[in-house]
Amino acid sequence: MPRDPLIGIVGKPSSGKSTTLNSLTDADAKVGAFPFTTIEPNRATGYLQVDCACSRFGKESLCKPNYGWCKNGRRFVPIMLLDVAGLVPGASQGLGLGNQFLDDLRQSDALIHVVDVSGTTDSNGKATRGYDPLQDIEWLQDEIRLWIEGNLHKRWGSIVRKHTATKASIVDTIQLQFGGYGAGRKLIDEALRNIKDLPPLEKWDNEWITRVVRSFMQVKFPTVLALNKIDHPDADKNVSKIMLRYPETKTVLTSAITEVLLRKLAKQKFIQYEEGTEFVDTYEDLGDDCGLKPLDEKLAQRIETIRDLVLYRFGSTGVVQVLQAAVGVLDLIPVYTVRNITTFTGNSGTNVFRDCVLLKRGTPVGSVARYIMGEVTIAVIEGVGGKRISEDDLIDSGKNDILSFKIVAQSN
Ligand SMILES: Nc1nc2c(ncn2[C@@H]2O[C@H](COP(=O)(O)OP(=O)(O)OP(=O)(O)O)[C@@H](O)[C@H]2O)c(=O)[nH]1
């Protein structure tokens, strides 16, 4: 049974990891508790914004999720985030917090790498000017790779001997080695298939091992770059450099500090702010009955600067989008399970689409049932319009993503 997705936030000290995490997890008072089994100090619930199924049927006013919330058809789905602290150059050799970060890392399904593009902090997070953040992307990937490679090299002789003696397949042998990183057979098979002309395992030299590890990292730790501190004047040139160097990597421009400030001002009723957008309104914009407090001159100037430097230039602070991008690289989509496929309600009451889970596009509908309910015998699966759906049908956005399961009752 797959577990709930977990997004790891990585980056050097002072790149803005905590600020990014805070800006994503500062939940609304309406939010219900989320049933994650273990809540650890470095984990927090973020909220992914999606278009809710209720908006497809004009049922926005009846939508009341069990977890997260829905506002005018825009749903905020809880998702677990993990602050992976302690990644510094040399961490795989024990520097900084040493290998502690690696345990966090292995639990992550995708990574958000927060990169300080202002160039005002060096690779260890110390204040400087004109630092080239391209280096951070390189050393961070290298640290992860060296950690995995180091573990392989330690045992390589016996790995090859056993592989040859048991005539095992490469996938089986590598799965035995990479299983500890939380990688299943399918994922390892994909990583190996992505490598051209892969020779038999006993012929792998250091270069081939590096290639295998790189390919494994791409599927096990798909990464989104959060190019943070875009509000800084030196950010522009660094952003262009990174985008040119990594055209294939998903990048999102962020100003986490601006998001934290806007959410705080909204809570204090100084502004109206729609998270993830460029729209900020003040008392001066909306007039007497808006319920906002008037701004003093200093605060008004601050909002103007935020609009000019971040919101109007980049369209948003980017943090909402960075979470969407991380979920996007995992190809997760929201799937809604309902009791009543005609009204979309749960057991009782009139509220619709109470339950929503994030699952990989292309998951068979039968696996969705088992993911939610455990090992059960399914009598019937229905989709929109009461249409019968087979266990082998696959979920996709807008297709087989609203489901009702009828279970065979257990005897005794
Ligand atoms: N200008 C600017 N500063 C930011 C931004 N995000 C974070 N900062 C500042 O950068 C500094 C470091 O931010 P943190 O969020 O503590 O960084 P961190 O990566 O969690 O650092 P460690 O806890 O040391 O690992 C703080 O002074 C933040 O206020 C941003 O978007 N723009």
Reported pTM: 0.91
Q: How many Å lie between the centroid of ligand 1 and the Cα of residue 125? A: 10
Residue having the nearest C-alpha atom to atom 29 of ligand 1: 257
Does some domain include residue 52? no
Q: How many Å lie between the centroid of ligand 1 and the Cα of residue 247? A: 26
Residue having the nearest C-alpha atom to atom 21 of ligand 1: 14
Clarify whether residues 310 and 344 are in a common domain. Answer: no
Q: How many Å lie between the centroid of ligand 1 and the Cα of residue 64? A: 35
Clarify whether residues 299 and 357 are in a common domain. Answer: no
Structural domain count, the chain = 2
Does some domain include residue 280? yes
Could you tell me the residue range of the domain that residue 301 belongs to? Answer: 257-314
What amino acid is encoded at 211 in this protein?
A: R
Whole-number pLDDT of residue 385: 92
Predicted confidence band at 83 (pLDDT cuts at 50, 70, 90)? confident
Residue 125 CA: nearest ligand 1 atom is: 24
Q: Does residue 287 or residue 3 have the better pLDDT?
A: 287
Residue 85 CA: nearest ligand 1 atom is: 25
Whether residue 148 contacts residue 219, with contact meaning beta carbons closer than 8 Å, is answered with no
Does some domain include residue 185? no
pLDDT tens for each residue of 335-363: 999 999 999 998 778 999 999 999 999 99
pLDDT tens for each residue of 101-142: 777 788 899 999 999 999 999 988 889 999 999 999 999 999
Does some domain include residue 364? yes
Does some domain include residue 279? yes
Would you give the distance in Å from CA 56 to the centre of its chain?
25
User: What is the four-CA torsion angle of 48, 49, 55, 60, rounded to 10 degrees?
Assistant: 80
DSSP structure class, residue 54: G
The whole-angstrom separation of Cα 132 and Cα 116 is 10
Whether residue 94 contacts residue 102, with contact meaning beta carbons closer than 8 Å, is answered with no
Does some domain include residue 374? yes
Residue having the nearest C-alpha atom to atom 32 of ligand 1: 229
Which among 389, 409, 391 has a CA at the least distance from the CA of 399?
389
Hey, how many other C-beta atoms are within 10 angstroms of the C-beta on 143? Answer: 23
Which among 353, 375, 371 has a CA at the least distance from the CA of 76?
353
Q: How many Å lie between the centroid of ligand 1 and the Cα of residue 114? A: 10
Clarify whether residues 307 and 357 are in a common domain. Answer: no
Q: Measuring from each residue's beta carbon to the nearest atom of ligand 1, which residues come in under 6 Å? A: 11, 13-19, 85, 125, 228-229, 231-232, 255-257
Question: What is the interface pTM, i.e. ipTM, of the complex?
Answer: 0.98
pLDDT tens for each residue of 169-202: 999 999 999 888 878 898 999 999 999 999 999 9
Does some domain include residue 263? yes
Whole-number pLDDT of residue 4: 84
Does some domain include residue 66? no
Q: What is the largest CA-CA distance in the chain?
A: 81
Q: How many Å lie between the centroid of ligand 1 and the Cα of residue 14? A: 5
Q: What are phi and psi of 394, to 5 degrees?
A: -105, 150
Predicted confidence band at 40 (pLDDT cuts at 50, 70, 90)? low
